Amino acid sequence: MNATTSDDFDVVIVGSGAAGLTLALRLPESCRVAVLSKGPLAEGSSLYAQGGISAVLDEQDSVHAHVADTLDAGAGLSDPDTARFVAARAADCIHWLIGNDVPFSRESSSEGAGDLHLHREGGHSHRRIVHAADATGRAVETTLEGMVRRRGNIHVFEHAMAVDLITTSRLGQSPRRCAGLYMLDTSTGDVRPLAARTVVLATGGASKVYLYTSNPDGATGDGIAMAWRAGCRVANLEFNQFHPTCLFHPEAKSFLLSEALRGEGARLLLPDGSRFMHRFDQRAELAPRDVVARAIDHEMKRLGVDCVYLDISHRDAAFIREHFPTIHERCLAFGFDMTRDPVPVVPAAHYTCGGVMVDHSGRTDLPGLYAIGEVSYTGLHGANRLASNSLLECLVYGTAAADDIAAALADAPPAPQLPAWDESRVSDSDEHVVVSHNWDELRRFMWDYVGIVRTDKRLQRARRRIDLLQGEIREYYGNFRVSADLLELRNLAMVAELIIGCAQNRRESRGLHYTLDYPETASESGPTVLTPSR
């Protein structure tokens, strides 16, 4: 339904991907819930997820094996308790989605859950990827969207962006907790306060901090930056996953070629047609994403080429069209027939493995504030995310947070009265070029200096540039009315600073963080935790 004129809610959820919508639907219908979406309700990273959701549904598989694969991909930094917590709840989440008519692919026309078609992806020891052809995120997200729109207790604010969190200490009250947020209506430019007994960040990751990314435009690290400014710790932001295989074409913006292609036998080739992955890992094309992305990056730099190639043309054409219809059609639109020829690919920033530190219920350091999905650091992904554990994490933690919030609401204080947004000392900007220039500069130096391969000197250069940009952004923010572009730039710059800080603190190469100055993996290691000064 449309937003009401009321400004206070039991729960305000910032973000409308799989995590946020799962939480909204799992809360009791007696709760007054608001969902903020930067664009249309279903738009976001979840919508574009191709591969699927990992879950143990085969008798030959086990939760123990799923946990072992997660820990192996995490390169020694995944938390075993978290991995077990998530893997053990995966099947229930899949059954909940099936019960709500998500159209997962099946081996036959039978309706039995045992007939689900299961992919195998890189890093997995078994076939355990539940999927809806090659557009799983779209199937899940559109189903959840329809359910949310039918719920009378859920109020949807589309084209709405959170500006910043409001804490009780900001209001001169104690004890310190989250009291709500300021919301920008991006269609009108108006800012209004939303009071809440509980706020949940489900804003996704921060891969737009890089020049090349598979993510939609909204992945600007908003929740990470807001939580940090509110006093919450963050962890492991040096571990940004680069998807190895994004389509290389000047007009193919952010289109990735699912890892499931390699799971079904696709081969990576150099321009001369030779394979190369076996020289980097005995699992070849089924190695974890960080290994594959780094191998592609190495070969591109070694040979001075713009791309490598992904080839599944040796498989039956009907099989390719049946299992990968979206990818096949999109490639055709750009002049590539994957049933006949190899397709050009390059790595691109894809997934933020670190984020706001939370417990198993999604609670942050700030009472009344939760974080779920890609915005959070749960300990699941460690130094690298196992394929198809991301949508799963959204579902598990969306459910866990809903249970915890529902149990705590009876004792939560009422939503307070919030002050109006003050624009008395700002004006409309006549220098929009400052925002666009700084946006471009930020994303380029992050790609060049804090990308797939790093060095101390590159990180120092990035640190000097981000310090200069932060000063310019603070001055601009203090003098002009806010806009979506300005808020996103402010948040991206904050997250870039945190990524650089985490990377400088990790003096080893592990998982997604590879530095030429410390190429070895340390014998003992833990998460990189940053704590804000209040």
pLDDT tens digits for 357-402? Answer: 999 999 999 999 999 999 999 999 999 999 899 999 999 999 999 9
- Between 384 and 256, the more confident residue is 384
Confidence of residue 108 (pLDDT cuts 50, 70, 90): low
The mean pLDDT value for 410-429 works out to 86
Amino acid identity at 144: L
The mean-pLDDT minimum among 204-208, 287-291, 400-404 falls in 287-291
Q: Please state which CATH class domain 8-238+353-411 belongs to.
A: alpha beta
Close Cβ partners of 11 (under 8 Å, ≥ 6 residues apart): 23, 24, 27, 31, 32, 33, 34, 196, 197, 198, 199, 200, 405
pLDDT at residue 115 in the model: 84
Give the best-scoring range by mean pLDDT among 2-6, 119-123, 167-171: 167-171
Please answer whether residues 443 and 412 qualify as being in contact, where contact means their C-beta atoms are separated by less than 8 angstroms: no
**Residue 32 pLDDT more than 60?**
yes
Closest CA to 147 of 199, 192, 96: 96
Q: Which two tokens stand for residue 431?
A: 């220098």
Q: Which residue would you say has higher pLDDT here, 249 or 428?
A: 249
**pLDDT above 70 coverage of the chain, percent:** 97
Least confident of 7-21, 39-53, 208-222: 39-53
Q: Are 502 and 468 in contact, with CB atoms under 8 Å apart?
A: no
For the whole model, what pTM was predicted? 0.89
pLDDT at residue number 458: 94
CATH 1.10.150.120, applies to 432-517: no
Q: Could you write out the DSSP letters of every residue in 280-307?
A: T-TTGGGS-HHHHHHHHHHHHHHHT-S-
Task: Return the minimum-mean-pLDDT range out of 110-114, 454-458, 518-522.
Answer: 110-114
What gap in Å lies between CA 49 and CA 322, rounded to an integer?
18
For range 509-513, the mean pLDDT: 94
Q: What CATH class does 247-349 carry?
A: alpha beta
**Least confidently predicted of 109-113, 328-332, 485-489:** 109-113
258 pLDDT band, cuts 50/70/90, is confident
Q: What per-residue confidence (pLDDT) applies to 2?
A: 41
Here the tokens at position 81 are 């308790």
Is residue 109 over pLDDT 70?
A: no
- What is the reported pLDDT for 423? 84
Q: What is the mean pLDDT of the chain?
A: 92
Of all residues in the chain, the percent with pLDDT exceeding 90 is: 74
Q: Where are the domains of the chain?
A: 8-238+353-411, 247-349, 432-517
The arithmetic mean of pLDDT across residues 106-121, rounded, is 70
Averaged pLDDT, 273-302: 90
Tokens of 528: 């990189």
Residue 6, pLDDT score: 46
Whether pLDDT at 90 is above 90: yes
Amino acid identity of residue 444, one-letter, is R
Does residue 231 register a pLDDT over 90?
A: yes
Rounded alpha-carbon distances, angstroms, from residue 511 to 238, 277, 505, 514: 10, 17, 15, 7
Higher pLDDT, 43 or 461: 461
Phi and psi angles of residue 117, each rounded to the nearest 5 degrees, phi first: -80, 130
Query: What pLDDT is recorded for position 340?
Result: 96
pLDDT at site 83: 98
Predicted local confidence at residue 114, as pLDDT: 52
367 vs 437 pLDDT, higher one: 367
CB atoms within 10 A of CB 2: 8
pLDDT for 1: 36
Q: What's the confidence (pLDDT) of residue 5? A: 42
Distance, CA of 352 to CA of 161 (rounded, Å)? 20
pLDDT at position 424, please? 77
Residue 6: Cβ within 10 Å count: 11
Alpha-carbon gap, residue 395 to 314, rounded angstroms = 36
Query: Which residues are known catalytic residues?
Result: 289
The pLDDT of residue 370 is 98
